[in-house]
Amino acid sequence: MRYLSQGDEAAFFAWLKSVPGVIAVVGSGRELHIQLRSKRLSQRGLRELIALHTRYDGNLNELAQFATEANSGWFKAPNSVWHHAIFGVENAV
């Protein structure tokens, strides 16, 4: 992650800690460890993580693990702005 100021970094961590389902955040050098309440995130929580990763140039494909049958309609939608960054290019049949 690249922060433009100390305030920008503080805003990032405050935003991350406010995401539903996030219970702990630890930054260690260039690594970031996020502890979640469970492996399932609410739609709001997942959308916030997409926004954070997009805004701060995080590795969006790390979010692919949160795809479920229940959220696939919106999360895996091929026309979503994040689809390629999270899921890559799907082969056309």
Q: How many CB atoms lie within 10 A of CB 29?
A: 5
Residue 74 belongs to some domain of the structure:
yes
**Can you give the pLDDT at residue 90?**
58
Residue 60 belongs to some domain of the structure:
yes
Residue 43 belongs to some domain of the structure:
yes
Residue 93 belongs to some domain of the structure:
no
Q: Is residue 31 predicted with pLDDT exceeding 90?
A: no
How far are the Cα atoms of 1, 4, 10, 26, 75 from residue 65, in angstroms, in the given order? 20, 29, 27, 20, 11
Please count the structural domains in the chain.
Answer: 1
- Structural domain of 54: 6-87
pLDDT per residue as tens digits for the range 60-93: 999 999 999 999 999 999 999 999 999 996 544 4
Residue 1 belongs to some domain of the structure:
no
Residue 62 belongs to some domain of the structure:
yes
pLDDT per residue as tens digits for the range 2-22: 788 999 999 999 999 999 999
Its pTM stands at 0.86
Residue 15 belongs to some domain of the structure:
yes
